[in-house]
């Protein structure tokens, strides 16, 4: 069953355990966002980035501050309204399943951090089609690849093991990318990360 945009409200981001919605006890900026942004810039050397499911836009803001042309989309009115004012012009409301505002191959790096597991099977199929359509080269995702007892997020309805995500992305022409030397942990790479690279040219 699909989760509506209204689910991702103040209670979801600021009082998750109390509201029974998520594990968030206040979704706030921390230095980790800047560290991830620097790691992404240094590893992928992207010209243009889209953060799908950007929430309050922390990562988009950090990328732009280190001279990466970055944009973000999210379905939460609450989260988008909480973005810093200087970042808001680069954020917009959109679902991962409908990225029609963006052209084919418009971005060379698309981020799907902690977003795809919130979708039901039909939405996942459409989201991957859209995400891969707009990516010229790279897609990287983070997701819990199994259920954890500490995870209180009731909107995690699409959790899948890594191999299933690899199969789904392969159907869209993106193959899992295994770097010869893994990036340093906590830069942008961890056990919940998968990287996909387009096999062919821009569709």
The domains of the chain are located at 33-198
**Ramachandran assignment for 112, one of left (phi > 0), alpha (psi -120 to 50 degrees), beta (any other):** beta
The pTM of this model reads 0.96
**CA distances (Å), origin 33, targets 54, 122, 133:** 11, 31, 26
Distance CA 175, CA 168 (A): 10
What's the CATH fold of domain 33-198?
A: Rossmann fold (3.40.50)
What is the residue-level pLDDT of the chain in tens, covering all 203 positions? 789 999 999 999 999 999 999 999 999 999 999 999 999 999 999 999 999 999 999 999 999 999 999 999 999 999 999 999 999 999 999 999 999 999 999 999 999 999 999 999 999 999 999 999 999 999 999 999 999 999 999 999 999 999 999 999 999 999 999 877 778 777 888 889 999 999 975 44
């Amino acid at each position: 069953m699909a989760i509506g945009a209204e689910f991702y409200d103040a209670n979801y981001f600021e009082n998750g355990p109390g509201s029974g919605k998520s594990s968030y006890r206040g979704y706030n900026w921390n230095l980790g966002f800047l560290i991830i942004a620097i790691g992404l810039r240094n590893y992928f050397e992207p010209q243009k980035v889209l953060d799908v499911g950007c929430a309050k836009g922390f990562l988009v803001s950090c990328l732009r501050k280190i001279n990466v042309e970055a944009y973000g989309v999210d379905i939460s009115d609450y989260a988008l309204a909480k973005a810093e004012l200087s970042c808001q012009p680069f954020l917009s409301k959109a679902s991962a399943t409908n990225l029609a505002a963006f052209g084919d191959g418009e971005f060379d790096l698309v981020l799907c951090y902690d977003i795809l597991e919130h979708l039901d099977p039909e939405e996942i199929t459409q989201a991957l089609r859209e995400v891969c359509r707009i990516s010229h080269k790279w897609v990287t995702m983070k997701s819990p690849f199994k259920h954890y007892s500490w995870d209180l997020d009731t909107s995690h309805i699409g959790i899948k093991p890594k191999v299933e995500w690899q199969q789904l992305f392969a159907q869209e022409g993106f193959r899992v990318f295994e770097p010869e030397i893994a990036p340093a942990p906590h830069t942008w790479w961890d056990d919940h990360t998968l990287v996909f690279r387009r096999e062919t040219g821009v569709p």
